[in-house]
Structure formats: C-alpha cells, structure tokens
A and B are shown apart, each in its own frame.
Chain A
Amino acid sequence: MIQEILIDLFGNEIVAFIISAALPLVFIVPFVIFAVWLERKVSAHMQDRLGPMRVGWHGVLQTVADFIKLVQKEDIIAADADKKMFILAPIMVFAGSYAAYAAFPFSSAYIGSGVDVGIFFVIAISSVVVAGLLMAGWASNNKYSLYGAMRSAAQIVSYEIPTALVILSIVMVTGTLSLAEMSELQAGGFWNWQIFGGAETGLVKILLIPFMIIAFIIFYISSLAEVNRTPFDMPEAESELVSGYHTEYSGMKFSIFFLAEYANMFAVSAIAAILFFGGYQSPFGYIGDLLGIDWLVPFEQLFWFAMKGLFFVFVQMWLRWTLPRVRVDQLMTICWKYLIPYAFVNLIIIGLITLI
C-alpha cells in the first residue's frame, strides 16, 4: 500500500522503492536509541540503582550523547588486522539484520518486500550475520576475537535448527510462508493468535494450545541464542573473552555492531510476535474501526507490532540481568540434546493434530 502511495507521490518506481526500503531504518534507529536506554534503565532498576539520570528526563537522551561520543572517537584499525575484511564485517552484520526487516509486515499497509516466502527469507538472510561475525573475528587478528567468532558461528548455526523446526510447525498449521498472510490469519482478537491455536475451531484449537506454548518456549530460547543474549552470550562472554568478536573495534564500527545487535534483538522478537502473537493484529479490535476512521487502523497496527516486539525485547533484558551464563559445551548440549528432539516431537504432534 505504502509503495503505491509513494509511486503516486514521486511518479518514479525506483525512487519510491528506495524510500520504501529505507523506511525500516526510520524505525530501527529510534528503536535502538530507545532500547539501549531501556536496557540501562531496566538493568539499573533491577539492580537497585538509578541508571542514567543526567541527559534529558531520566536520561532519555543518554544514548544520543553516547552516540555522539562514539562518532567522535578515533577509528582504530589494528596494524596486523586484515583491513578490508575488518571494515566490511560490521557492514555485513548490520546488512544481515537489516535485510530481515524487509520481510516484516509492520502493519497491513506496510511491508518492505512482500515476498511470499517471507519467513524462509528471514531465516536465510539472518545467516549472513554469521559470516559477518566470522569475518570480524578473523580479521581482527586477535585470539579472543577469533574464539568469540568461532563460538558464535557454532552457536548460531546450531540454534537455527530448533528455530527452523518450530517455524515449520507454524507453517504446517497456517499453510503459508508469507509473514503478512500469517498475520492476517490471526486477525480478530487475541484468541485467534497462534499460541492459542490460531483461527482453528473446536477440538483442534484446544489440542493445539499446549503444543503451541511448547513451540513458543523452544523458539524463544533458541532466538535468545541466535542473537547472543544472556544466558547464551558466549561469543561476547565478557569475563572470558573480554568482548569476543568486537574486542578490537572502536568508534563508528563498534556502534554499528551495537546497532546490529539491538536490531537483531527486535528482529527475533518481531518474528516471535508474528508467529505466535498475531503480528500487527490488535488483541481487542481497533479504535479506527470503531470511529470509522480508516487511516487510523494501520497506525494502530504499527503500534501493536512495536509493542509486542518491545515486550519480548524487555523479556530478553530481564533474562540478561537475572541469569548467569552457560558454558560452551552446555550450550551445545541444550541445543542438540534437548531443544532439537523436543522440537521434532512437537512438530510431529502438531502435524498429527492438524490432520484431525
């Protein structure tokens, strides 16, 4: 819809598409600025302290100040680093996480690229991040960075399996790979969300609920691992690897890694929201519909989408500041010995239920 409006406005398809493609950036940058502030505030309040209080009201502008500081910093490239790869790595990591946003339906009116295989595209493109991390670790020519990169590659590749299995079970129920269609299917109130059995009725719906909850838990755990958040923050494990693959990065390049990390956090939260919690659908209905104002509905949908994403981002922060970190081998044990078998069994059961 937005695309059509833009084409009308500029009369040129290429310009319209470029602007349309840049729209998620308008969302990501303020989101990251907000999320970094939120993370600091959440951690501070959990730890019985105040957190940033000086820059703006309760420190809301702290991230902006930090960003300005980071931009001013000297951009150091270590003498023995592989310069080209070193420079390319943060761009690649960010590109990977940004590209995933193309397939997200922010509301019924806006989707960056309405690919029919949306979820498949997201899984595929987010793997580019791994290549970026490996490049960063290898190019830094630092043993800590290398360890961080190796860990993160092993971790992300492993945890993609349970994630994919869970997504597969959702795809079986909905019969579509398109994220926009998945969101549409869950319209009409929270009882139609996938976690509550979706738009099915009767026995199938009731039978689906427990297995959908299991599927969601598996998905959420593996998504934590995919974005390297505690308790699975092995690649950055501060007390072991200093800060893993981005040890050698400073200034702007470091802040791009940072941006990508928070963008990723929202990306996996958004996928969780789309798959299980109705995507952009409101849990109750729309004020726009009630008042008969049509243009209000997409904005409300954007609001709900952001809220659901933010909620899961908050849960990620909550876990981060509560739990210790697991060990490398335990991380793999959790994935291969527990999550994958459970996800498989869950997949089969959900498949059987949908046959009823």
Chain B
Amino acid sequence: MSLKTEELTLNMGPQHPSTHGVLRLEVVLDGEVVVEVRPHLGYLHRCFEKHCEAMTYPQVIPYTDRMDYLASMYNNFGYVTAVEKLMEIEVPERVEYIRVIMGELQRIASHQVAVGTYGLDVGAFTPFLYLFRDRETILSLFEMTCGARLLYNYMWVGGLSHDLHPDFLRKTKEFLEYLKPNIDEINNLLTFNKIFIERTANVGVLPADVALNFGATGPNLRASGYKWDLRRDDPYSIYDRFDFDVIVGEGLVGTIGDCWDRYYVRVLEMKESIKIIEQAIEQIPEGDITTALPKRVKPPKGHIYHRVENPKGELGYFIISDGSVNPSRVKVRPPSFVSLSAINDMSKGHLVGDLVAILGSLDIVLGEIDR
C-alpha cells in the first residue's frame, strides 16, 4: 500500500519576517523539502527608470538613494560618476577622497546589515543588535556631514553637497579603531559558532561557473572563488591608489560558494574597507570642493554605461542623453536583482529552513530589485 502524497505550495511573503522586504516567494514543497522556488517581484515598483525621464539630471540623485536604501551613498556615487563621465568633468582630488571614504563607510554599514540580518535568519538575535549599534555610528558620521541618516543626496554631479565636518576625520578614525575588535567579536559570537556552521556550510552552493552564467557579481560571485572586484579590475574614481585585498571564498568550513562563504566574504570585506578608509584619511588633501560643480547639468548628446562596485555587486547605470537637461533614458543594472535570479537553482532539494538561509546569504534589497 502506498499513501497518496502531494506537493504543497507555500506563499512566503510579501509579508514574511525573512524575505528582507516585500518579496513573494512561491515555494513548492514536498514535506519540508523545496522542489521549486518562484520569486514574484514588483511589490515595491516605483517606476524609477521611467520617472527619471521627466527629471533633470540632478533631480535623479535623490531617487537613486531610494534604490538600495542600505547603500544610498554608493548609488549616488555610481550615478554622479556616470554623468560626470558623460560630461567629461574632472572633479577635485578632495572630492574624490571624500567620495571614497563615504562609499567605503557605506559598504561597511551595508555589510553590517547583511551580516546581522543573516544571523537573524538563522535564529541568532544578538549579533544583529551588536552590528546595528556599530552601524549607528556610521549613520551619525553621515548625519554630521550631510544632515541625513539614510537617504543622503550627498554626492552631486561635479562635487558634493557639503564639505566634511571639521571633526569628521578624527571621529572616523576613532570609529575604525572601535570597530576592528567588534568584527572579531562577531566572528567569535556567530561566524565560528558550531550551530551556525552546521546551518550554513555546504548549503546553497553556487559554483563559480553557475554564478558567472547568472551574472552574479559582488560578494556573491567572490564567495564562489572568482576574483572579480571592479575597484581592482576596472578602477573608477581613485581606487587604483589604495592597497587592499580582494576577498574570495575559500570553502573554509564547507564547499566553496556555500552560504557560509558568502557570509564570511562580507565580514572580511569590512576589514578591507577599513584599510581603504585609513589610507584615504592619510592621503586626503585640503582644497575647495565646489570648483568643478557645473552651472547647469546638460550633458552632450550620447550615451554611457558606467559601473561601480556597490556593496551588493556591480551597479551599472546606462544613460542616454539627447542633449537636453532631462535624461532620455536611464537604465540601472541592479546587483540584487541578478543575484535573486539564482535562488531557484541554489535552493532545490534543500529544506525550508535552508531556503531562508540561502535567501539571506544573497543579501538582496527589494528597493533595488523593484526600483
């Protein structure tokens, strides 16, 4: 005699504690085993790209803030450097350094959220709050500089909205000294915890060739053992002046490219960002930040694709200019969107609990996926 069994379709989201926003996953389950995952997007769609066509170039900047709202600085960074490239503007040295410092601080903040919420996904509550406590200081540093804590509109085409606060560099140095031991604390508390390793090692393995085929970038690709970092391989701004390592997954506790690797790459990248900021603080020149600000942002006719290494991966802006003050077309290549597309391949045959762990390890932000 055989019992009749059937698969069960479970809707995870759009309101669910671990879909990191309003993502809906349609999960087909055989008992607790995942048979298929179908992500449904669009719950947070705001027509960003179409909207840009009605805006002037500087007016687009606040909208870029709202894409990957955990890394707003870097979205600004990508957009303004794209427009500057289109207009062939050379920005002052000081501006470049400030941008790099802000961008790397933002990378630390973004990775802190990623690491913390990942702990939350596998049931460890406390590391999350430790990381948010530290992230608070970064937000305060941003607030000190531009008055905003989440959506900055700080980087402008050709410059910045404000120069640094006189105390900024000193406080940043203090913060970095404070942060270093805290990263090791997280390693002790979560990274090398036996239960955590059991939960994440050999789970959701994404081999390098599959990752490349999906077009995954950033920490998700590097965790698969593929050394690709735009800051090193296609340097923009002044990244070629700094000495830092590109972290890749090594399969320390499991297979290369498993959830643990994706998590650990982010932990180590925080340390690399600290290195970059320290060098930038050493080298930053004095000067005026306003000299390159154009009177009117009106790029010549043409188009450009410019990409930067956002905390989540390759963030690309494709801008077509028809010579007017409004962009004719803005297209964004969002790293989270591409990473999410791999979820079905990664989670087949795993358990529901693993699906949560895999989704968390991709570190997606729905604001960017849906735009």
Contacts and interface: CB of A to CB of B under 8 A. Distances in A.
Interface of A: 43, 46-49, 143-144, 147, 230-231, 233, 237-242, 321-330
Contact of B195 (A147, A238, A242, A324): A324
Interface in B122-139: 122-126, 129-130, 133
Contacts of A326: 195, 198-199
With a 10 A CB-CB cut-off, give which of B198, B351, B353 has the most chain A CB atoms. Answer: B353
Contacts of B196: 324
A35 B226 CA distance: 50
A325 B195 contact: yes
With a 10 A CB-CB cut-off, give which of A147, A231, A237, A324 has the most chain B CB atoms. Answer: A324
Contacts of B354: 327
Contacts of A328: 32, 351-353
Contact of A237 (B10, B123, B124): B123
Contacts of B351: 327-329
B130 A239 contact: no
B122 A47 contact: no
A325 B17 CA distance: 15
Interface residues of B, number: 30
Nearest to A322: B126
26 contacts: A48-B130, A143-B8, A143-B10, A231-B123, A237-B353, A238-B18, A239-B356, A240-B352, A240-B353, A242-B17, A322-B124, A322-B126, A322-B189, A323-B123, A323-B193, A324-B119, A324-B122, A324-B124, A324-B196, A325-B353, A326-B195, A326-B199, A327-B199, A327-B354, A328-B32, A328-B351
Nearest to A325: B123
Given A238-B18, A239-B121, A323-B195, 20 more contacts: A144-B10, A147-B352, A237-B123, A238-B123, A240-B356, A241-B352, A242-B16, A242-B17, A321-B125, A321-B126, A322-B124, A322-B126, A322-B189, A323-B124, A324-B122, A324-B124, A325-B122, A327-B198, A327-B353, A328-B351
A47 B129 contact: yes
B18 A46 contact: no
A140 to B, nearest CB: 14
B125 A43 contact: yes
A330 B121 contact: no
